[in-house]
Every structure is written in C-alpha cells, then in structure tokens.
C-alpha cells in the first residue's frame, strides 16, 4: 500500500480528537469576549462559566450514556426530573444542615424512579424513547406542579455555601463534577456495563447475540440518566437559593447539545466524557459573548443554533458501520 493510500485511511483529526472543536470553540469565544471588553472581568467570566458548565455536564453525562446506546435513544424527561427532584430534595432537607444527605438521597431516588418509569414505557408499550420520555416528562412535571406550586424552601446554609463557594476562583461544584466525570469515565471504559453500552450502540443485534443482556443495560442507562438529572436538580436548587418549577427548562436541548458538540456520536456507540466540559463551556460562553455584544434575544437564539450546527458539521460524525 502506498504512503498516500495509507495516509488517506488514517482517521481524521476530529475522529482522533472529538473534543477539540468544543474546547477550541470555547477558547475562541472567550478570547473574543475579552477583546470586546478590553480584558475586563475575564476571571469572573471564566469562574462563572465553570459554575454553570457543571450543571450542563451533570445532565450531559446521563444523556451521553443514553445516546450511546444507539439511534433514537434520548431522554427528554430531564427538565421535569430536575424540577421535581429539586423541590422534593429541598423539602427533605428542610433548611437543616443535618438533613443534607437525606435530601440528596431523595433527589437521587426521584431520578431513579423516573428513569425506571421511562424504560417501563419504552419496553412494555413498545414506543420510541423520544415519545416515552416526553410523555413521562408531562406526568413528572404535573406532579411537580401539583406538589410544589407556591412552595419555596431555601437550601441549608452549608449546602448553599458549597453550591456557590469557590477556592482560588474555582467553584467547589466544578471540582466535585470533575471527580464525578472521572467515575463516569471509569464506568464507561473500564466496566462490563460501560462496554456493553458502547457495544449496543454499535450494533444492538450483534450485542444480543454476543450474550449482552440488552434490555437490562438499557434499563440501567435510563435510570442513570434520570438519577443524574435528579442530582442536578438538588445542586441547582442549592445554587439558586431554592427550587422552582421552571428551573430545568434550559436543560432539555442543552443536555443533547453538549453530548453531540462534545464529540459523542449521535448515532451511538462512541462517547466522549472530556468533551462534555468543552461543549458546556462553549454553550455558556457563547451566550455570554452574545449578551456582551448586545445581541437581542431572538437573534441570539438564531446565532446560537447556527454556530452549534457549524461545530457539529465540522466535528463530523464518522459512519458507524452498523450492519
């Protein structure tokens, strides 16, 4: 084989470094913002970006596992799960530092129940995940509204201090989320479950023939996604000074965007944990830059969508080669 032919078969830059476009885009946007402001407030912008990026990363981790299981798999119940888990966790904590662990356990439990319900709809009713999770979202949101209407419980002081605190300008939440990403990376790449998720995404039929219990793995994946959404609900309520019924709205499309922009394959089978950070910073800094430039809300949404599409197109999505 000639050198030219061998070179042509080498994987492209985007394939070898699927996170590069997200981090590169975030850096360019940050530099553009600094140039516009004359370098004023750069440290504050970056610190705030890290704080808000952690929320995107937490829900993006769960969505990433779901999307990795193959085409059509997506969790649209994330916003409602955030709202319900945030409300119930604050009620469980009851502004008491001694009940923080109880509140977190409630948030995780709510998420696990929602995830189990999601897959119950998918498996027993044989309906597409996008329909099942959207239907579940309406039910969960209705529960949150009926229970939490007019309810505003403040988080315990210690929990709020952790959610908003920083050390050397780095948010505590960012440090904790980095540790969570490490655990999720090990789960994805170093465990039978994680390898099964990738195998199902590459070819579900072949994975089943290889002895992988596809239904069980997919069930655990939807539970994991909703559980992380529940955790995000508790953390977001702590950061915001209390829960609200609409606090999860922006995480519906954001949870999908950070997965795809971060380098994971939208067709499944390939994931990238590190890329979630680049994509999350990219999304937040993009909105910050457009606000700094004085762009109106309508045009801001349009430009955000176009730029995300451009990033996804440049990063590419290698053919999966499924049978």
Q: In whole angstroms, what is the distance from residue 233 CA to residue 107 CA?
A: 7
With a pLDDT cut of 90, the percent of the chain lying above it is: 46
- Structure confidence at residue 7 (pLDDT): 44
Q: CA 94, CA 193: separation in Å to the nearest integer?
A: 36
The model's confidence at residue 5, banded by pLDDT at 50, 70 and 90, is very low
**What are the pLDDT digits (tens) for 208-227?**
988 899 999 999 999 999 99
% pLDDT > 70, the chain:
88
Mean pLDDT of 162-175: 90
The arithmetic mean of pLDDT across residues 111-140, rounded, is: 92
According to the model, what pLDDT value does residue 176 have? 94
Q: Is the predicted pLDDT of residue 85 greater than 90, yes or no? A: yes
How far is the C-alpha of 180 from the C-alpha of 224, rounded, in Å? 13
The residue that leads in pLDDT, 238 or 48, is 238
Range scoring the smallest mean pLDDT among 29-33, 35-39, 205-209: 35-39
pLDDT in the model for residue 270: 83
pLDDT tops 70 at residue 15: no
With 0-12 / 13-18 / 19 or more C-beta atoms within 10 angstroms meaning exposed / middle / buried, residue 120 is middle
Q: How confident is the model at residue 6 (pLDDT cuts 50, 70, 90)?
A: very low
Give the model's pLDDT for residue 10: 54
In the predicted model, is pLDDT for residue 312 greater than 70?
A: no
**Residue 101 banded pLDDT, cuts 50, 70, 90:** very high
Provide the 8-state DSSP code for 10: S
Confidence class for position 16, pLDDT limits 50, 70, 90? low
Fold exhibited by the domain 19-30+40-315:
ABC transporter involved in vitamin B12 uptake, BtuC (1.10.3470)
Mean pLDDT, rounded, for 165-176: 90
Do 129 and 74 meet the contact criterion of CB atoms below 8 Å apart? Answer: yes
Q: Summarize the confidence of residues 76-98 as an average pLDDT.
A: 92
Distance of alpha carbon 177 from alpha carbon 52, whole angstroms: 11
Given a cut of 90, is residue 116 above it in pLDDT? yes
311: nearest Cα among 275, 273, 271:
275
What is the DSSP annotation of 161-211? HHHH-EETTEEHHHHHHHHHHHHHHHHHHHSHHHHHHHHHHH-HHHHHHTT
For 147, 210, 244, the CA distances from 152, given in Å and listed in that order, are 11, 51, 7
The whole-angstrom separation of Cα 186 and Cα 200 is 18
Q: Evaluate if residue 20 carries a pLDDT over 60.
A: yes
- pTM of this prediction? 0.87
**Would you state the pLDDT for residue 319?**
47
Q: Please tell me the predicted confidence (pLDDT) of residue 301.
A: 72
CA distance 39 to 203: 49
Determine the pLDDT at residue 217: 95
pLDDT class for 242, splitting at 50, 70, 90?
Answer: confident
| Rounded Cα–Cα distance for residues 197 and 248 (Å) | 26
Virtual CA dihedral for 117, 206, 59, 80, nearest 10 degrees? -30
In this prediction, residue 272 has a pLDDT band, given cuts at 50, 70 and 90, of: confident
113 pLDDT higher than 60: yes
55 or 254: whose pLDDT is higher? 55
Chain-wide mean pLDDT for the chain?
85
- Which residue has better confidence, 295 or 144? 144
Is the pLDDT confidence value at 191 over 90?
Answer: yes
C-alpha dist (Å) from residue 126 to 118, 119, 121, 205 = 12, 10, 7, 17
CA atoms within 13 A on the CB side of 13: 5
Task: Return the residue matching tokens 């451009």.
Answer: 310
3-state secondary structure 42-108: HHHHHHHHHHHHHHHHHHHHHHHHHHHCCCCCCCCCHHHHHHHHHHHHHHHHCCCHHHHHHHHHHHH
Q: How far is the C-alpha of 46 from the C-alpha of 40, rounded, in Å?
A: 12
pLDDT at residue 29 tops 60: yes
């Amino acid at each position: 084989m000639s050198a030219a032919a061998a070179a042509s078969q080498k994987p492209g830059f985007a394939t070898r470094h699927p996170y590069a476009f997200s981090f590169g885009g975030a850096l360019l946007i940050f530099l553009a913002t600094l140039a516009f402001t004359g370098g004023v407030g750069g440290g504050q912008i970056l610190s705030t970006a890290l704080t808000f990026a952690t929320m995107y990363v937490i829900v993006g981790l769960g969505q990433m596992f779901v999307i990795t299981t193959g085409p059509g798999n997506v969790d649209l119940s994330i916003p409602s799960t955030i709202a319900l888990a945030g409300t119930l966790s604050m009620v469980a904590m009851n502004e008491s530092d001694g009940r923080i662990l109880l509140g977190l356990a409630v948030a995780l439990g709510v998420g696990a129940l929602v995830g189990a319900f999601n897959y119950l709809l998918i498996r027993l009713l044989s309906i597409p995940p996008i329909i099942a999770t959207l239907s579940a979202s309406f039910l969960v949101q209705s529960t949150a509204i009926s229970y939490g209407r007019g309810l505003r419980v403040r988080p315990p002081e210690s929990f709020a201090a952790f959610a908003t605190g920083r050390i050397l300008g780095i948010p505590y939440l960012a440090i904790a989320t980095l540790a969570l990403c490490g655990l999720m990376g090990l789960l994805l790449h170093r465990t039978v479950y994680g390898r099964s998720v990738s195998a199902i995404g590459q070819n579900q039929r072949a994975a089943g023939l290889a002895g992988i219990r596809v239904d069980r793995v997919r069930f655990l994946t939807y539970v994991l996604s909703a559980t992380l959404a529940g955790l995000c609900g508790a953390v977001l309520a702590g950061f915001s000074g209390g829960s609200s019924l609409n606090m999860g709205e922006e995480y519906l499309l954001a949870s999908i965007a950070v997965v795809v922009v971060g380098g994971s394959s939208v067709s499944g089978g390939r994931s990238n944990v590190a890329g979630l950070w680049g994509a999350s910073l990219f999304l937040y800094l993009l909105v910050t830059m457009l606000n700094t430039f004085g762009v109106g809300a309508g045009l801001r949404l349009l430009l955000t969508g176009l730029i995300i599409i451009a990033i996804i197109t440049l990063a590419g999505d290698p053919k999966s080669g499924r049978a």
